[in-house]
Chain A
Protein backbone atom coordinates (compact mmCIF):
# COMPACT_ATOMS: atom_id res chain seq x y z
CA UNK A 1 0.00 0.00 0.00
CA UNK A 2 1.30 3.46 -0.85
CA UNK A 3 0.80 6.73 0.95
CA UNK A 4 -2.21 8.85 0.10
CA UNK A 5 -1.37 11.62 -2.39
CA UNK A 6 -2.86 14.38 -4.52
CA UNK A 7 -6.39 15.64 -3.82
CA UNK A 8 -7.29 12.98 -1.22
CA UNK A 9 -4.07 13.89 0.64
CA UNK A 10 -5.16 17.52 0.99
CA UNK A 11 -8.61 16.49 2.18
CA UNK A 12 -7.14 13.96 4.63
CA UNK A 13 -4.72 16.55 6.02
CA UNK A 14 -7.45 19.14 6.54
CA UNK A 15 -9.61 16.52 8.22
CA UNK A 16 -6.73 15.49 10.47
CA UNK A 17 -6.03 19.10 11.48
CA UNK A 18 -9.68 19.76 12.30
CA UNK A 19 -10.28 16.50 14.14
CA UNK A 20 -7.04 16.43 16.11
CA UNK A 21 -7.23 20.10 17.03
CA UNK A 22 -10.76 19.64 18.29
CA UNK A 23 -9.65 16.60 20.26
CA UNK A 24 -6.77 18.60 21.72
CA UNK A 25 -9.02 21.46 22.83
CA UNK A 26 -11.40 18.89 24.28
CA UNK A 27 -8.57 17.21 26.13
CA UNK A 28 -7.48 20.59 27.52
CA UNK A 29 -10.98 21.01 28.93
CA UNK A 30 -10.92 17.47 30.30
CA UNK A 31 -7.43 18.14 31.67
CA UNK A 32 -8.70 20.98 33.86
CA UNK A 33 -11.52 18.73 35.04
CA UNK A 34 -9.09 15.88 35.77
CA UNK A 35 -6.81 18.21 37.68
CA UNK A 36 -9.64 19.40 39.89
CA UNK A 37 -10.96 15.91 40.53
CA UNK A 38 -7.57 14.36 41.33
CA UNK A 39 -6.61 17.32 43.49
CA UNK A 40 -9.83 16.79 45.40
CA UNK A 41 -9.17 13.05 45.77
CA UNK A 42 -5.69 13.71 47.13
CA UNK A 43 -7.22 16.07 49.69
CA UNK A 44 -10.01 13.59 50.58
CA UNK A 45 -12.65 15.75 48.90
CA UNK A 46 -14.97 14.95 45.99
CA UNK A 47 -14.27 17.79 43.59
CA UNK A 48 -16.71 19.04 40.94
CA UNK A 49 -19.40 16.38 40.57
CA UNK A 50 -22.68 18.21 40.14
CA UNK A 51 -22.77 19.60 36.58
CA UNK A 52 -23.56 16.77 34.20
CA UNK A 53 -22.58 13.12 34.75
CA UNK A 54 -19.83 12.94 37.43
CA UNK A 55 -19.30 16.68 36.90
CA UNK A 56 -17.99 16.39 33.34
CA UNK A 57 -19.93 19.44 32.17
CA UNK A 58 -18.21 21.59 34.79
CA UNK A 59 -15.74 22.68 32.11
CA UNK A 60 -18.62 24.00 29.99
CA UNK A 61 -19.94 25.93 32.96
CA UNK A 62 -16.46 27.34 33.60
CA UNK A 63 -16.08 28.39 29.98
CA UNK A 64 -19.46 30.14 29.98
CA UNK A 65 -18.60 31.90 33.21
CA UNK A 66 -15.30 33.13 31.79
CA UNK A 67 -16.98 34.39 28.61
CA UNK A 68 -19.61 36.33 30.55
CA UNK A 69 -17.23 37.96 33.01
CA UNK A 70 -16.24 41.58 32.72
CA UNK A 71 -13.06 42.26 30.83
CA UNK A 72 -10.68 44.64 32.58
CA UNK A 73 -8.03 46.79 30.97
CA UNK A 74 -5.45 48.06 33.46
CA UNK A 75 -4.75 51.74 32.83
CA UNK A 76 -0.98 51.12 32.88
CA UNK A 77 -1.11 48.27 30.35
CA UNK A 78 0.29 48.41 26.82
CA UNK A 79 -2.91 47.46 25.05
CA UNK A 80 -1.56 45.71 21.95
CA UNK A 81 0.92 43.47 23.71
CA UNK A 82 -1.50 42.94 26.57
CA UNK A 83 -3.95 41.45 24.10
CA UNK A 84 -1.31 39.51 22.18
CA UNK A 85 0.25 37.78 25.20
CA UNK A 86 -2.54 35.21 25.91
CA UNK A 87 -2.51 34.16 22.26
CA UNK A 88 1.26 33.71 22.35
CA UNK A 89 0.90 31.61 25.47
CA UNK A 90 -1.70 29.34 23.88
CA UNK A 91 -0.29 28.85 20.38
CA UNK A 92 3.09 27.16 21.08
CA UNK A 93 1.54 24.65 23.45
CA UNK A 94 -1.10 23.65 20.94
CA UNK A 95 0.83 23.57 17.66
CA UNK A 96 3.35 21.12 19.09
CA UNK A 97 0.86 18.30 18.57
CA UNK A 98 1.33 18.61 14.79
CA UNK A 99 4.35 16.29 14.75
CA UNK A 100 3.14 13.76 17.30
CA UNK A 101 1.89 10.43 15.88
CA UNK A 102 -1.38 9.49 17.58
CA UNK A 103 -2.10 6.07 16.14
CA UNK A 104 -1.02 3.51 13.56
CA UNK A 105 -1.57 4.42 9.88
CA UNK A 106 -5.12 3.86 8.65
CA UNK A 107 -5.93 2.29 5.26
CA UNK A 108 -8.22 4.08 2.78
CA UNK A 109 -9.17 3.44 -0.86
CA UNK A 110 -6.58 6.03 -1.99
CA UNK A 111 -3.67 4.72 0.12
CA UNK A 112 -2.73 4.72 3.79
CA UNK A 113 -3.09 7.81 5.96
CA UNK A 114 -0.45 8.57 8.59
CA UNK A 115 -2.11 9.44 11.90
CA UNK A 116 0.12 12.46 12.33
CA UNK A 117 -0.75 15.95 11.16
CA UNK A 118 2.63 16.79 9.67
CA UNK A 119 5.28 14.09 9.34
CA UNK A 120 8.14 16.57 9.01
CA UNK A 121 11.65 15.08 8.70
CA UNK A 122 12.91 17.38 11.50
CA UNK A 123 10.19 16.46 14.00
CA UNK A 124 12.21 16.55 17.21
CA UNK A 125 13.93 19.79 16.26
CA UNK A 126 10.52 21.33 15.55
CA UNK A 127 9.36 20.27 19.00
CA UNK A 128 12.38 21.82 20.69
CA UNK A 129 12.04 25.02 18.66
CA UNK A 130 8.34 25.49 19.36
CA UNK A 131 8.50 24.43 23.01
CA UNK A 132 10.84 27.32 23.77
CA UNK A 133 8.48 29.87 22.21
CA UNK A 134 6.14 29.47 25.18
CA UNK A 135 8.26 31.92 27.15
CA UNK A 136 7.23 34.87 24.95
CA UNK A 137 3.64 34.82 26.16
CA UNK A 138 4.82 34.86 29.76
CA UNK A 139 7.35 37.65 29.27
CA UNK A 140 5.00 39.77 27.20
CA UNK A 141 2.14 39.37 29.67
CA UNK A 142 4.43 40.27 32.56
CA UNK A 143 5.85 43.33 30.87
CA UNK A 144 2.76 44.74 29.18
CA UNK A 145 0.56 44.52 32.28
CA UNK A 146 2.30 47.53 33.79
CA UNK A 147 2.19 45.88 37.18
CA UNK A 148 5.14 45.08 39.44
CA UNK A 149 3.93 41.63 40.45
CA UNK A 150 3.19 40.61 36.88
CA UNK A 151 6.57 41.96 35.84
CA UNK A 152 8.39 39.92 38.49
CA UNK A 153 6.45 36.85 37.42
CA UNK A 154 7.39 37.40 33.79
CA UNK A 155 11.06 37.85 34.69
CA UNK A 156 11.10 34.67 36.74
CA UNK A 157 9.32 32.80 33.98
CA UNK A 158 11.81 33.82 31.33
CA UNK A 159 14.81 33.03 33.54
CA UNK A 160 13.39 29.63 34.41
CA UNK A 161 12.43 28.63 30.89
CA UNK A 162 15.76 29.72 29.44
CA UNK A 163 17.61 27.77 32.14
CA UNK A 164 15.71 24.52 31.73
CA UNK A 165 15.46 24.55 27.94
CA UNK A 166 19.06 23.39 27.63
CA UNK A 167 18.44 20.46 29.93
CA UNK A 168 15.24 19.57 28.08
CA UNK A 169 16.92 19.54 24.69
CA UNK A 170 19.98 17.64 25.89
CA UNK A 171 17.93 14.97 27.64
CA UNK A 172 16.51 14.02 24.24
CA UNK A 173 19.95 13.45 22.72
CA UNK A 174 20.26 9.83 23.98
CA UNK A 175 16.88 9.07 22.35
CA UNK A 176 18.12 10.46 19.05
CA UNK A 177 21.36 8.51 19.36
CA UNK A 178 19.41 5.29 19.67
CA UNK A 179 16.90 6.17 16.95
CA UNK A 180 19.45 7.59 14.52
CA UNK A 181 16.69 9.84 13.17
CA UNK A 182 14.80 12.97 14.25
CA UNK A 183 11.53 11.94 12.63
CA UNK A 184 9.08 11.26 15.43
CA UNK A 185 7.39 8.16 13.90
CA UNK A 186 10.85 6.55 13.66
CA UNK A 187 11.19 6.85 17.43
CA UNK A 188 7.88 5.03 17.87
CA UNK A 189 8.99 2.30 15.45
CA UNK A 190 12.25 1.94 17.40
CA UNK A 191 10.26 0.98 20.50
CA UNK A 192 8.09 -1.62 18.78
CA UNK A 193 9.03 -5.25 19.03
CA UNK A 194 9.89 -6.85 15.69
CA UNK A 195 11.34 -10.28 16.48
CA UNK A 196 14.61 -10.78 14.67
CA UNK A 197 14.75 -7.25 13.27
CA UNK A 198 18.05 -5.61 14.21
CA UNK A 199 16.92 -2.05 13.41
CA UNK A 200 14.44 -1.73 16.27
CA UNK A 201 15.03 -2.01 19.99
CA UNK A 202 11.77 -3.72 20.83
CA UNK A 203 11.57 -2.16 24.29
CA UNK A 204 10.06 1.13 25.41
CA UNK A 205 12.88 3.62 25.85
CA UNK A 206 12.03 4.13 29.50
CA UNK A 207 14.02 0.97 30.25
CA UNK A 208 17.28 1.63 28.37
CA UNK A 209 17.09 5.37 29.18
CA UNK A 210 15.71 5.31 32.72
CA UNK A 211 17.64 8.32 33.95
CA UNK A 212 16.99 10.16 30.68
CA UNK A 213 13.24 9.70 31.22
CA UNK A 214 13.52 11.13 34.70
CA UNK A 215 15.51 14.13 33.45
CA UNK A 216 13.13 14.80 30.55
CA UNK A 217 10.16 14.56 32.89
CA UNK A 218 11.79 16.95 35.36
CA UNK A 219 12.77 19.55 32.78
CA UNK A 220 9.38 19.15 31.11
CA UNK A 221 7.74 20.10 34.41
CA UNK A 222 10.01 23.12 34.64
CA UNK A 223 9.26 24.16 31.05
CA UNK A 224 5.52 24.07 31.62
CA UNK A 225 5.79 26.13 34.83
CA UNK A 226 4.24 23.36 36.85
CA UNK A 227 4.69 22.86 40.53
CA UNK A 228 7.25 22.42 42.02
CA UNK A 229 8.57 24.84 39.39
CA UNK A 230 5.69 27.33 39.26
CA UNK A 231 7.70 30.35 40.33
CA UNK A 232 6.26 32.58 37.56
CA UNK A 233 2.86 32.24 39.22
CA UNK A 234 3.79 31.86 42.89
CA UNK A 235 0.42 32.90 44.30
CA UNK A 236 1.82 33.32 47.78
CA UNK A 237 4.44 35.82 46.70
CA UNK A 238 3.34 37.42 43.43
CA UNK A 239 -0.47 37.54 43.76
CA UNK A 240 -0.96 35.63 40.49
CA UNK A 241 2.35 36.14 38.73
CA UNK A 242 2.41 37.12 35.08
CA UNK A 243 -1.37 36.89 34.64
CA UNK A 244 -2.26 38.95 37.73
CA UNK A 245 -3.88 41.69 35.64
CA UNK A 246 -5.84 39.41 33.33
CA UNK A 247 -9.52 38.66 33.68
CA UNK A 248 -12.35 36.96 31.88
CA UNK A 249 -11.57 35.06 28.66
CA UNK A 250 -8.02 36.43 28.40
CA UNK A 251 -7.21 34.72 31.68
CA UNK A 252 -8.97 31.57 30.50
CA UNK A 253 -6.75 31.53 27.41
CA UNK A 254 -3.67 31.58 29.68
CA UNK A 255 -5.09 28.63 31.57
CA UNK A 256 -5.81 26.82 28.31
CA UNK A 257 -2.25 27.51 27.18
CA UNK A 258 -0.90 26.09 30.42
CA UNK A 259 -2.93 22.90 30.11
CA UNK A 260 -2.25 22.65 26.38
CA UNK A 261 1.45 22.80 27.12
CA UNK A 262 1.06 20.23 29.83
CA UNK A 263 -0.87 17.82 27.63
CA UNK A 264 1.65 18.10 24.80
CA UNK A 265 4.45 17.50 27.31
CA UNK A 266 2.62 14.39 28.51
CA UNK A 267 2.28 13.28 24.88
CA UNK A 268 6.00 13.89 24.28
CA UNK A 269 6.97 11.80 27.32
CA UNK A 270 4.69 9.07 25.97
CA UNK A 271 6.11 9.21 22.45
CA UNK A 272 9.77 9.36 23.42
CA UNK A 273 9.86 7.01 26.40
CA UNK A 274 6.65 4.99 26.61
CA UNK A 275 6.32 3.69 23.08
CA UNK A 276 3.89 6.25 21.66
CA UNK A 277 0.87 4.42 20.31
CA UNK A 278 2.54 1.00 20.62
CA UNK A 279 0.46 -1.63 22.41
CA UNK A 280 2.76 -3.76 24.57
CA UNK A 281 3.09 -7.55 24.05
CA UNK A 282 1.15 -7.50 20.77
CA UNK A 283 2.76 -7.65 17.36
CA UNK A 284 -0.48 -6.88 15.47
CA UNK A 285 0.29 -3.18 15.65
CA UNK A 286 3.69 -3.56 14.01
CA UNK A 287 2.97 -1.19 11.14
CA UNK A 288 5.66 1.07 9.79
CA UNK A 289 6.68 2.99 6.73
CA UNK A 290 9.56 1.45 4.77
CA UNK A 291 12.33 3.51 3.23
CA UNK A 292 10.62 3.55 -0.17
CA UNK A 293 7.35 4.94 1.24
CA UNK A 294 5.41 1.67 1.17
CA UNK A 295 3.82 0.25 4.31
CA UNK A 296 5.07 -2.81 6.18
CA UNK A 297 2.44 -4.61 8.24
CA UNK A 298 -1.32 -4.90 7.97
CA UNK A 299 -3.10 -1.62 8.66
CA UNK A 300 -6.74 -1.65 9.70
CA UNK A 301 -9.17 0.91 11.05
CA UNK A 302 -9.80 -1.04 14.23
CA UNK A 303 -6.04 -1.21 14.83
CA UNK A 304 -5.86 2.57 14.37
CA UNK A 305 -8.60 3.00 16.95
CA UNK A 306 -7.00 0.57 19.41
CA UNK A 307 -3.59 2.26 19.16
CA UNK A 308 -5.25 5.67 19.59
CA UNK A 309 -6.87 4.41 22.79
CA UNK A 310 -3.52 3.05 23.97
CA UNK A 311 -1.93 6.43 23.29
CA UNK A 312 -4.65 8.31 25.16
CA UNK A 313 -4.38 5.98 28.15
CA UNK A 314 -0.60 6.34 28.33
CA UNK A 315 -0.73 10.11 27.88
CA UNK A 316 -3.48 10.35 30.48
CA UNK A 317 -1.43 8.40 33.00
CA UNK A 318 1.58 10.66 32.46
CA UNK A 319 -0.72 13.67 32.85
CA UNK A 320 -2.08 12.17 36.08
CA UNK A 321 1.46 11.93 37.45
CA UNK A 322 1.89 15.66 36.70
CA UNK A 323 -1.15 16.36 38.83
CA UNK A 324 0.03 13.95 41.51
CA UNK A 325 3.44 15.67 41.69
CA UNK A 326 1.78 19.08 41.76
CA UNK A 327 -0.34 18.31 44.78
CA UNK A 328 2.56 16.73 46.66
CA UNK A 329 5.67 18.85 46.31
CA UNK A 330 6.06 22.39 47.58
CA UNK A 331 7.47 25.12 45.37
CA UNK A 332 11.25 25.51 45.17
CA UNK A 333 13.00 28.63 46.32
CA UNK A 334 14.42 30.72 43.49
CA UNK A 335 18.05 29.90 44.31
CA UNK A 336 17.20 26.19 44.56
CA UNK A 337 15.59 26.37 41.13
CA UNK A 338 18.62 28.01 39.56
CA UNK A 339 21.06 25.70 41.37
CA UNK A 340 19.17 22.67 40.15
CA UNK A 341 19.04 23.94 36.58
CA UNK A 342 22.54 25.25 36.10
CA UNK A 343 24.68 23.39 38.63
CA UNK A 344 23.10 20.00 38.36
CA UNK A 345 20.84 19.19 35.41
CA UNK A 346 22.99 20.59 32.61
CA UNK A 347 26.16 18.92 33.92
CA UNK A 348 24.45 15.66 34.65
CA UNK A 349 22.73 15.51 31.26
CA UNK A 350 26.04 16.14 29.52
CA UNK A 351 27.70 13.36 31.50
CA UNK A 352 24.73 11.14 30.78
CA UNK A 353 25.03 11.73 27.03
CA UNK A 354 28.72 10.83 27.13
CA UNK A 355 28.10 7.69 29.20
CA UNK A 356 25.30 6.51 26.91
CA UNK A 357 27.35 7.29 23.80
CA UNK A 358 30.27 5.27 25.18
CA UNK A 359 27.95 2.44 26.13
CA UNK A 360 26.37 2.37 22.66
CA UNK A 361 29.82 2.39 21.06
CA UNK A 362 31.03 -0.41 23.33
CA UNK A 363 27.93 -2.53 22.70
CA UNK A 364 28.26 -2.05 18.95
CA UNK A 365 31.95 -2.98 19.09
CA UNK A 366 31.03 -6.05 21.17
CA UNK A 367 28.83 -7.08 18.26
CA UNK A 368 25.56 -7.10 20.21
CA UNK A 369 22.56 -6.77 17.88
CA UNK A 370 19.83 -4.18 18.50
CA UNK A 371 17.07 -5.75 20.56
CA UNK A 372 15.96 -6.51 24.12
CA UNK A 373 19.43 -7.75 25.15
CA UNK A 374 20.92 -4.45 23.98
CA UNK A 375 18.29 -2.56 25.95
CA UNK A 376 19.00 -4.65 29.04
CA UNK A 377 22.69 -3.79 28.84
CA UNK A 378 21.82 -0.08 28.63
CA UNK A 379 19.41 -0.50 31.54
CA UNK A 380 22.32 -1.82 33.61
CA UNK A 381 24.31 1.33 32.87
CA UNK A 382 21.25 3.42 33.82
CA UNK A 383 20.73 1.61 37.10
CA UNK A 384 24.31 2.37 38.07
CA UNK A 385 23.74 6.04 37.18
CA UNK A 386 20.43 6.12 39.05
CA UNK A 387 22.11 4.76 42.17
CA UNK A 388 24.79 7.42 41.82
CA UNK A 389 22.11 10.05 41.31
CA UNK A 390 19.78 9.17 44.15
CA UNK A 391 22.19 7.85 46.77
CA UNK A 392 25.39 9.77 46.24
CA UNK A 393 24.60 13.14 44.70
CA UNK A 394 21.27 13.49 46.43
CA UNK A 395 22.72 14.17 49.86
CA UNK A 396 21.83 17.80 50.17
CA UNK A 397 23.69 18.48 46.94
CA UNK A 398 20.73 18.52 44.56
CA UNK A 399 18.43 20.77 46.55
CA UNK A 400 19.71 22.51 49.63
CA UNK A 401 16.91 22.94 52.06
CA UNK A 402 16.86 25.28 55.03
CA UNK A 403 18.52 22.62 57.18
CA UNK A 404 20.22 22.97 60.54
CA UNK A 405 23.40 24.42 59.02
CA UNK A 406 21.51 26.93 56.91
CA UNK A 407 19.42 27.95 59.88
CA UNK A 408 22.49 28.38 62.05
CA UNK A 409 24.14 30.43 59.32
CA UNK A 410 21.07 32.64 58.92
CA UNK A 411 20.90 33.21 62.66
CA UNK A 412 24.61 34.09 62.79
CA UNK A 413 24.12 36.64 59.99
CA UNK A 414 21.08 38.12 61.69
CA UNK A 415 22.94 38.53 64.99
CA UNK A 416 25.87 40.08 63.17
CA UNK A 417 23.57 42.55 61.39
CA UNK A 418 21.87 43.44 64.67
CA UNK A 419 25.23 43.97 66.36
CA UNK A 420 26.31 46.32 63.59
CA UNK A 421 23.07 48.31 63.74
CA UNK A 422 23.41 48.59 67.50
CA UNK A 423 26.97 49.79 67.21
CA UNK A 424 26.05 52.34 64.57
CA UNK A 425 23.11 53.62 66.58
CA UNK A 426 25.31 53.85 69.65
CA UNK A 427 28.09 55.74 67.93
CA UNK A 428 25.54 57.97 66.23
CA UNK A 429 23.88 58.68 69.57
CA UNK A 430 27.23 59.36 71.17
CA UNK A 431 28.19 61.77 68.42
CA UNK A 432 24.81 63.44 68.61
CA UNK A 433 24.97 63.93 72.36
CA UNK A 434 28.52 65.27 72.05
CA UNK A 435 27.31 67.73 69.41
CA UNK A 436 24.36 68.75 71.56
CA UNK A 437 26.63 69.21 74.54
CA UNK A 438 28.93 71.55 72.59
CA UNK A 439 26.05 73.59 71.13
CA UNK A 440 24.53 73.84 74.59
CA UNK A 441 27.83 75.14 75.90
CA UNK A 442 28.00 77.65 73.03
CA UNK A 443 24.50 78.96 73.62
CA UNK A 444 25.08 79.24 77.33
CA UNK A 445 28.24 81.13 76.68
CA UNK A 446 26.42 83.43 74.29
CA UNK A 447 23.68 83.96 76.81
CA UNK A 448 26.17 85.07 79.40
Chain B
Protein backbone atom coordinates (compact mmCIF):
# COMPACT_ATOMS: atom_id res chain seq x y z
CA UNK B 1 0.00 0.00 0.00
CA UNK B 2 1.18 3.48 -0.78
CA UNK B 3 1.96 5.94 1.98
CA UNK B 4 3.03 3.28 4.47
CA UNK B 5 -0.54 2.28 5.26
CA UNK B 6 -0.57 -1.04 7.09
CA UNK B 7 -3.48 -3.25 6.14
CA UNK B 8 -4.30 -5.82 8.80
CA UNK B 9 -6.11 -9.03 8.11
CA UNK B 10 -9.49 -8.86 9.83
CA UNK B 11 -9.86 -11.33 12.68
CA UNK B 12 -11.84 -14.42 11.95
CA UNK B 13 -15.27 -15.10 13.37
CA UNK B 14 -13.69 -17.69 15.66
CA UNK B 15 -11.90 -14.90 17.60
CA UNK B 16 -12.79 -14.28 21.21
CA UNK B 17 -14.79 -11.15 22.07
CA UNK B 18 -14.08 -11.13 25.79
CA UNK B 19 -10.34 -11.42 25.39
CA UNK B 20 -10.20 -8.73 22.71
CA UNK B 21 -12.36 -6.47 24.89
CA UNK B 22 -10.10 -7.06 27.90
CA UNK B 23 -7.10 -6.08 25.81
CA UNK B 24 -8.87 -2.87 24.83
CA UNK B 25 -9.77 -2.14 28.44
CA UNK B 26 -6.10 -2.56 29.33
CA UNK B 27 -5.09 0.01 26.72
CA UNK B 28 -7.62 2.58 27.92
CA UNK B 29 -6.67 1.99 31.56
CA UNK B 30 -3.05 2.63 30.71
CA UNK B 31 -3.98 5.92 29.09
CA UNK B 32 -6.33 6.86 31.94
CA UNK B 33 -3.70 6.56 34.65
CA UNK B 34 -0.68 7.92 32.85
CA UNK B 35 -0.14 11.63 33.46
CA UNK B 36 0.81 12.70 29.92
CA UNK B 37 -1.79 15.17 28.70
CA UNK B 38 -1.60 16.73 25.27
CA UNK B 39 -3.95 19.60 26.08
CA UNK B 40 -2.34 23.03 26.27
CA UNK B 41 -3.87 25.19 29.01
CA UNK B 42 -4.11 28.11 26.59
CA UNK B 43 -4.53 31.39 28.45
CA UNK B 44 -2.15 30.17 31.16
CA UNK B 45 0.44 28.58 28.90
CA UNK B 46 1.08 30.09 25.52
CA UNK B 47 2.69 28.93 22.35
CA UNK B 48 6.31 29.66 21.77
CA UNK B 49 6.00 31.75 18.64
CA UNK B 50 8.40 31.60 15.73
CA UNK B 51 10.53 34.77 15.32
CA UNK B 52 9.29 35.13 11.73
CA UNK B 53 5.58 34.90 12.59
CA UNK B 54 3.79 37.79 10.88
CA UNK B 55 1.20 39.30 13.21
CA UNK B 56 -0.10 42.62 14.49
CA UNK B 57 1.82 45.69 13.21
CA UNK B 58 4.03 47.96 15.25
CA UNK B 59 5.45 51.38 14.48
CA UNK B 60 9.06 52.05 15.49
CA UNK B 61 9.76 55.30 17.34
CA UNK B 62 12.72 57.68 17.80
CA UNK B 63 14.18 58.25 21.27
CA UNK B 64 11.94 61.29 21.73
CA UNK B 65 8.84 59.21 21.09
CA UNK B 66 8.07 60.42 17.56
CA UNK B 67 7.16 57.76 15.02
CA UNK B 68 9.95 56.98 12.58
CA UNK B 69 7.56 57.18 9.61
CA UNK B 70 8.53 59.82 7.03
CA UNK B 71 5.28 59.59 5.06
CA UNK B 72 6.95 58.41 1.83
CA UNK B 73 3.81 56.55 0.75
CA UNK B 74 5.54 53.31 -0.26
CA UNK B 75 3.58 51.05 2.15
CA UNK B 76 0.06 52.07 0.99
CA UNK B 77 1.30 51.64 -2.58
CA UNK B 78 2.67 48.14 -2.08
CA UNK B 79 -0.17 46.96 0.16
CA UNK B 80 -2.12 44.35 -1.89
CA UNK B 81 -5.36 44.80 0.05
CA UNK B 82 -5.31 48.58 0.54
CA UNK B 83 -5.49 48.41 4.31
CA UNK B 84 -3.05 51.28 5.04
CA UNK B 85 -4.31 54.87 5.06
CA UNK B 86 -1.49 57.47 5.03
CA UNK B 87 -1.79 61.26 4.81
CA UNK B 88 1.68 62.87 4.95
CA UNK B 89 2.49 66.34 6.26
CA UNK B 90 5.56 68.57 6.66
CA UNK B 91 6.70 70.30 9.86
CA UNK B 92 8.39 73.74 10.22
CA UNK B 93 11.85 72.21 9.66
CA UNK B 94 10.72 70.74 6.36
CA UNK B 95 10.68 67.17 7.71
CA UNK B 96 7.94 64.94 6.49
CA UNK B 97 5.85 62.93 8.91
CA UNK B 98 2.59 60.97 8.84
CA UNK B 99 -0.32 63.18 9.87
CA UNK B 100 -2.72 60.25 9.69
CA UNK B 101 -1.51 56.67 9.64
CA UNK B 102 -4.10 53.92 10.04
CA UNK B 103 -3.92 50.17 9.44
CA UNK B 104 -7.09 48.14 9.21
CA UNK B 105 -5.94 44.89 10.81
CA UNK B 106 -9.20 43.25 9.82
CA UNK B 107 -8.43 43.79 6.14
CA UNK B 108 -4.75 43.04 6.41
CA UNK B 109 -3.49 39.71 5.04
CA UNK B 110 -0.17 39.96 6.94
CA UNK B 111 1.94 39.57 3.78
CA UNK B 112 4.71 41.71 5.28
CA UNK B 113 5.30 43.82 2.15
CA UNK B 114 4.96 47.07 4.12
CA UNK B 115 7.76 46.04 6.44
CA UNK B 116 9.98 44.98 3.52
CA UNK B 117 9.39 48.14 1.53
CA UNK B 118 9.77 50.70 4.36
CA UNK B 119 12.98 52.74 3.69
CA UNK B 120 13.38 53.90 7.32
CA UNK B 121 12.34 50.66 9.05
CA UNK B 122 9.39 52.36 10.69
CA UNK B 123 6.47 49.96 10.13
CA UNK B 124 6.97 46.39 11.25
CA UNK B 125 4.90 43.31 11.60
CA UNK B 126 5.01 41.77 15.07
CA UNK B 127 5.14 38.37 16.71
CA UNK B 128 1.67 38.72 18.23
CA UNK B 129 -1.73 37.29 17.36
CA UNK B 130 -4.17 37.97 20.21
CA UNK B 131 -6.07 40.97 18.90
CA UNK B 132 -9.73 40.15 19.45
CA UNK B 133 -12.04 43.18 19.77
CA UNK B 134 -15.71 43.81 20.49
CA UNK B 135 -16.28 46.07 17.47
CA UNK B 136 -14.89 46.35 13.95
CA UNK B 137 -13.96 50.00 14.43
CA UNK B 138 -11.47 48.94 17.09
CA UNK B 139 -9.59 46.92 14.49
CA UNK B 140 -8.45 50.08 12.70
CA UNK B 141 -5.19 50.86 14.50
CA UNK B 142 -4.15 54.51 14.41
CA UNK B 143 -0.60 55.83 14.74
CA UNK B 144 -0.82 56.29 18.51
CA UNK B 145 -1.92 52.73 19.06
CA UNK B 146 0.69 51.35 16.67
CA UNK B 147 3.50 53.13 18.51
CA UNK B 148 2.27 52.00 21.92
CA UNK B 149 2.38 48.25 21.15
CA UNK B 150 5.25 46.41 22.75
CA UNK B 151 5.53 42.93 21.23
CA UNK B 152 8.70 41.89 19.35
CA UNK B 153 9.18 42.81 15.68
CA UNK B 154 8.90 40.09 13.08
CA UNK B 155 12.34 39.00 11.86
CA UNK B 156 12.75 39.39 8.12
CA UNK B 157 13.85 36.51 5.97
CA UNK B 158 17.61 36.48 5.58
CA UNK B 159 18.75 35.27 2.14
CA UNK B 160 22.16 34.31 3.61
CA UNK B 161 20.40 32.01 6.07
CA UNK B 162 17.32 30.78 4.20
CA UNK B 163 16.17 28.21 6.75
CA UNK B 164 16.74 30.44 9.80
CA UNK B 165 19.18 28.01 11.35
Q: Which residues of A contact B (CB under 8 A)?
A: 38, 40-46, 49, 324-325, 327-329, 389-390, 394-396, 398-407
Contacts and interface: CB of A to CB of B under 8 A. Distances in A.
30 contacts: A38-B32, A41-B33, A42-B28, A42-B31, A43-B31, A44-B31, A44-B37, A45-B38, A328-B21, A328-B24, A328-B27, A328-B28, A389-B18, A390-B18, A390-B19, A394-B16, A394-B17, A394-B19, A395-B14, A396-B13, A399-B17, A400-B13, A401-B11, A402-B10, A403-B11, A404-B10, A404-B11, A404-B12, A404-B13, A405-B13
B25 A328 contact: yes
Interface in B50-73: none
B15 A396 contact: yes
Residue from B17, B33, B34, B38 having most chain A Cβ neighbours under 10 A: B17
Nearest to B22: A390
Contacts of A399: 17
B2 interface: no
B7 interface: no
Nearest to B30: A42
Contact of B18 (A40, A41, A49, A398): A398
A405 B27 CA distance: 28
B28 A327 contact: yes
Contacts of B11: 401, 403-404
B36 interface: yes
B135 interface: no
Contacts of A395: 14-16
A319 to B, nearest CB: 14
A405 B10 CA distance: 10
Given A324-B25, A328-B28, A46 B17 contact: no
Nearest to B13: A403
Main secondary structure of the interface of A (DSSP, over half): loop
B38 A44 contact: yes
Interface of B: 9-19, 21, 24-25, 27-29, 31-34, 36-39, 41
Nearest to A395: B14
Given A324-B29, A390-B18, A46 B24 contact: no
A430 B9 CA distance: 43
Given A44-B31, A394-B17, A403-B13, 6 more contacts: A44-B38, A324-B28, A389-B18, A398-B17, A402-B10, A404-B13
B37 A407 contact: no
B12 A396 contact: yes
Nearest to A39: B32
Nearest to A389: B18
Contacts of B9: 404
Contacts of B10: 402-404, 407
A403 B20 CA distance: 13
A324 B25 CA distance: 7
A57 B38 CA distance: 23
Contacts of A404: 9-13
Contacts of B37: 44-46
Contacts of A328: 21, 24-25, 27-28
The 3 closest A-B pairs by CB, nearest first: A403-B13, A399-B17, A46-B39
Nearest to B37: A46
A329 B24 contact: yes
B22 to A, nearest CB: 9
A410 to B, nearest CB: 12
A58 to B, nearest CB: 15
A404 B24 CA distance: 21
B36 A406 contact: no
Nearest to B31: A42
Nearest to B26: A328
Contacts of A325: 25
B28 to A, nearest CB: 4
A133 B110 CA distance: 62
A390 B19 CA distance: 8
A195 B11 CA distance: 51
Contacts of B21: 328-329
Nearest to B38: A44
B28 A403 contact: no
A41 B34 CA distance: 8
A395 B17 CA distance: 8
Nearest to B23: A328
Given A44-B36, A45-B37, A46-B39, A406 B13 contact: yes
A333 to B, nearest CB: 12
A44 B32 CA distance: 7
B12 A41 contact: no
Contacts of B16: 390, 394-396
Contacts of A49: 41
A61 to B, nearest CB: 17
Given A403-B11, A407-B10, A46 B25 contact: no
Contacts of B33: 41
A42 B39 contact: no
A389 B17 CA distance: 11
